[in-house]
Amino acid sequence: MPREPAQITTNVAAALEGVSFTYAGSDRPALSQVRFELRPGEMVGIMGASGAGKSTLAKCLNRIVPRFEDGSFGGVVRIGGRALDGERVCDVASMVGMVFQDFEAQLFSTNVAHEVAFAMEQIGMPREEIAARIGPALEAVGLAGFDDRDPTSLSGGEKQRLAIASVLALRPGVVVLDEPTSDLDPEGKAEVFALIRQMRAQGLSLIVIEHEAEELRNCDRIVLLREGEIIADGRPAEVMIQRKLLEECGVHPPDINRVMNLLGIDRHAGSVDEAEAIIRARFPHLPAAQEGTEAIADPASLPRATIEHQPPLLRVDHLSFAYPFGPRVLDDVCLGIAAGEFIAIIGQNGSGKTTLAKHLVGLLAADDGKIIIGGRDRSTLHPAETAQEVGYVFQNPDHQIFAATVADEVAFGPRNFGLDDAEIARRSEEVLSAVNLTAERDRDPFLLSKGERQRLAVASVLALRPRLLILDEPTTGLDYREQRRMMGLISELNRSGIAIVMITHTPWLIAEYARRVVLMRKGSVMFDGGVREFFAHDEALANSSFRPPEATILGRRFGRSALRPEELATWIKDSA
Amino acid sequence: MPIYLYLDRGSIVHRLNPTVKVFALFIMFWSVYWVDHPLALLPLGLLLVAMAQLTHSWPNFYRLRWLFILLIFFTTLAWMVFYRKGPPLINTRIIHLSRASLIFGFGRGLKLAELLATSVLFLSTTKVEEFTAGLQRLGVPYRVGFAITLSFRLVPLFIDSALTVVQAQSLRGYEFNRGGPLERVKRYVPVVIPVFMGALRKANNMAMALEARGFGVSATPTSYIDYPIRTRDRIAFAALTGLAIVYFLIYYTGYGDISVK
């Protein structure tokens, strides 16, 4: 029987009234007495650390909690004034549209039009109505004309927009997006956020869960969660200036607010333009933007002179590669990596970053060119033979974790190389302490948090004592606090002499931690140079499709190249 | 490597009603089942070759060529061990090579190859959604049909994740191929566990996403695509029914047997 989407006639689109939920087997509530209202046409951003209850809150709105999750539930959830009591998740589907982080797991069909039709078929909508809605839904997300494409052939951003289209086709009263861009590259992120802005302009009631505050600073309200409780709920201007509180909640405060905060200006800026105007009003003598920005001297971020003179640890010589019957994935790549370097490899998904990394460790063999590692030709060596020289941490830690305890997981590598028990024990202690997991040594790795599992994966590769460590997007899916901890660990390893090659999409990580940037595009190296140079290089930036961190953009407005908010604030104060 | 076999070629077979295609799959299996003699299987083989040409499915057969060759070769060989009838040309304790065992073994090999070829043709010309619709029309519950569709999507995901896990573990110095057969199976534990855990997570995410899209509201969802029954479907249906009867008669009259004197 066809259902009409929920018409929201009350002045509340969605409400949680004293909602509590405790997962089975957990001793503390994931949500505790939460009261929350979403008014029609409003966009609310929900922020907080991993485990603060953001996803649980979102899942209460369409009954995934408690229908899919075991635990004890209390309170009332209302959608458009109607209390959801005893409803199944599918019964709520046409009232609350939900988009998940894992876009692979929410596409079920072999062509785009079928995918959009799927939800409408499920609720028993007549064929003519379905056919009439597919076109507009695809157009709304910018996928018009994609009808016959295979969803698996789409980019990440396109897949996520397709998932949104299939939700929008039901015309739900409320749309909930649970970290919709966590797994996307900068281009995909930008596409999805542009779409969210457009949905908001059309008056949809939206709830968006997100780690990065920058993307949410123009929404109507921000709700901050900590340990299952709402600790702030207000306009972005009220919440975003509480830097300490945001950081405590595992949220990355906007860079421009941080700069102003350091300058003693307790105001919220909705954009870089606004921040520039506020700062100029306070510091009227600051110079204007100019051609060729001047670097703020910062010895710590300059490449160490010693590196230049060292022979490379690894050399890539005119490397080219294509998968059988596929296009070229790597095209004449040349690269030298010296001991102690910290390199960020960036570029869009599909630009060849991971393929290059897999060549470095010997998981793929080049069609042309070669890799020299410690004076030997990589192609003559088995991947395991160089595992003690080059370590590789895969993007998803769950692709390698299998042991019953944390200590066993770490000991796995050294054991494979036949080290004796005393040595294995020594190394395990050493690396567990490096990644701050000593206290967890006897725990089951599958019960650790995502951040802890990621650190465990690093530890288990470190146990082989490589001189070069390659990390594929080591901060994906981590909250700000966990990202900081992860990067602190990686810098510490780098200081101890291990060369780091990190594939990443996060501009501020590159600005604050890396010293050299390698930009890949369509299998070629488009830029290879210092971080500061990169962020001042307009052409390279245009090619990379990602924006510099806002502190850098703001700095350039004053004719300065800055990588960190602190650096920029200090310079502004000094020059005043 | 693409795991789907579907080839978007738009031939007349592609355009047949999915129910007819599922019926054709069944009838081909039926016909192959009743006869043993290679000569009786030959017309079916020729029919399949003609269909492969008509539907332009050769790339898929080319991809699986080794499977076909090995299937026929090893089945023929295996039946020389078990089928010990007829005057022997060579007779040892293991191998019994006779005209009869050769014909029987080759017939079995051909049979398997024809079953495989039928499946390849079916998957080359039928989208998974059509498969579900066809099954539904034949009385299979929607949920069962959908589960089959979904498994087509999951298999490539799992293969992909298994390959990544193998790479991750081998970079930690792990050797998979060491020791005897049992030891080798055991050595796959560091792969099986992460793949299994990942599959559970993925399945859970999918289940949530499915229900959030309304899966389960109705036991008989509507279908966006209409599959009307046209003249060509009726003709195909009649021809397939005829084929089924002919092959049953070949069996019934004993012409499809292998007679051993």
pLDDT tens for each residue of A181-211: 988 888 888 889 999 999 999 999 999 998 8
Asked if A233 and A336 sit in the same domain, the reply is no
Asked if A330 and A227 sit in the same domain, the reply is no
Kindly report the average pLDDT of chain B as a whole number. Answer: 89
pLDDT of residue A6: 46
The CA distance from B165 to B194, in Å, is 7
**Cross-chain Cβ contact B214/A119 below 8 Å:** yes
Kindly report the average pLDDT of chain A as a whole number. Answer: 90
Nearest CB neighbour to B173, from listed A152, A384, A446: A384
The CA distance from B104 to B76, in Å, is 8
Amino acid letter, B230 = R
Domain containing A67 equals 14-242
pLDDT per residue over A28-45, tens digit each?
A: 999 999 999 999 999 999
Q: Does B197 touch chain A (CB under 8 A)?
A: yes
Q: Which two tokens stand for residue B75?
A: 């089945």
Residues A147-170: what's their mean pLDDT?
91
Asked if A34 and A173 sit in the same domain, the reply is yes
Sign, CA torsion B235/B237/B239/B242? negative
ipTM over 0.90: no
Residues A23-28: what's their mean pLDDT?
91
pLDDT reading at B3 higher than 60: no
Nearest CB neighbour to A121, from listed B170, B189, B223: B223
| pLDDT band with cut points at 50, 70 and 90 for residue B7 | confident
Q: Does B231 touch chain A (CB under 8 A)?
A: no
Q: How many distinct structural domains can be found in chain A?
A: 2
Q: Which residues of A touch B129 (CB under 8 A)?
A: 109-111, 114
pLDDT reading at A16 higher than 70: yes
Whether A271 is covered by a domain: the verdict is no
Residues A253-277: what's their mean pLDDT?
93
Residues B15-36: what's their mean pLDDT?
94
Mutation target vs B (from A87, A90, A103, A364; most B CBs, 10 A cutoff)? A90
| pLDDT band with cut points at 50, 70 and 90 for residue B149 | confident
pLDDT reading at A299 higher than 70: no
pLDDT of residue A309: 54
**Cross-chain Cβ contact A123/B224 below 8 Å:** no
Regarding predicted confidence, which is higher, A477 or B47?
Answer: B47
**Cross-chain Cβ contact B218/A1 below 8 Å:** yes
pLDDT per residue over B191-212, tens digit each?
A: 999 999 998 888 899 999 999 9
pLDDT reading at B54 higher than 90: yes
Asked if A180 and A52 sit in the same domain, the reply is yes
pLDDT per residue over A65-81, tens digit each?
A: 999 999 999 999 999 98
Mutation target vs A (from B164, B208, B223; most A CBs, 10 A cutoff)? B208
Whether A264 is covered by a domain: the verdict is no
pLDDT of residue A303: 45
pLDDT of residue A546: 73
Asked if A403 and A532 sit in the same domain, the reply is yes
Asked if A230 and A345 sit in the same domain, the reply is no
Q: Which residues of A touch B212 (CB under 8 A)?
A: 62, 64, 89-90, 93, 97-98, 100, 106
Whether A349 is covered by a domain: the verdict is yes
Regarding predicted confidence, which is higher, A9 or A359?
Answer: A359
pLDDT of residue A8: 47
- β-bridge partners, B127: none
pLDDT reading at A416 higher than 50: yes
pLDDT reading at B128 higher than 90: no
Residues A421-442: what's their mean pLDDT?
93
Mutation target vs B (from A63, A87, A89, A444; most B CBs, 10 A cutoff)? A89
Portion of chain B with pLDDT greater than 70, in percent = 98
List CB contacts of A384: < 8 A, sequence separation 6 or more: A416, B170, B171, B173, B174, B175
Asked if A183 and A46 sit in the same domain, the reply is yes
| pLDDT band with cut points at 50, 70 and 90 for residue A301 | very low
Q: Which CATH number fits the domain that encloses residue A409?
A: 3.40.50.300
Asked if A212 and A319 sit in the same domain, the reply is no
**Cross-chain Cβ contact B212/A98 below 8 Å:** yes
pLDDT of residue A462: 93
| pLDDT band with cut points at 50, 70 and 90 for residue B260 | low
Residues A304-325: what's their mean pLDDT?
76
Regarding predicted confidence, which is higher, A292 or B27?
Answer: B27
Q: Residue A212 gets which letter from DSSP?
A: B
The CA distance from B246 to B240, in Å, is 10
| pLDDT band with cut points at 50, 70 and 90 for residue A509 | very high
Q: Does A391 touch chain B (CB under 8 A)?
A: yes
- A397 contacts A454 by C-beta, under 8 angstroms: yes
What Cα–Cα distance (Å) separates residue A96 from each residue in A34, B77, B96, B121, B225? 19, 61, 69, 42, 25
pLDDT reading at A389 higher than 50: yes
Tell me: cis bond preceding A66? Omega within 30 of 0 counts. yes
A471 φ/ψ angles, rounded to the nearest 5 degrees: -120, 125
How many Å lie between the alpha carbon of B180 and the closest alpha carbon of chain A?
Answer: 18
Residues A555-562: what's their mean pLDDT?
90
pLDDT per residue over B150-182, tens digit each?
A: 887 788 788 888 999 999 999 998 988 888 888
- B243 contacts B25 by C-beta, under 8 angstroms: no
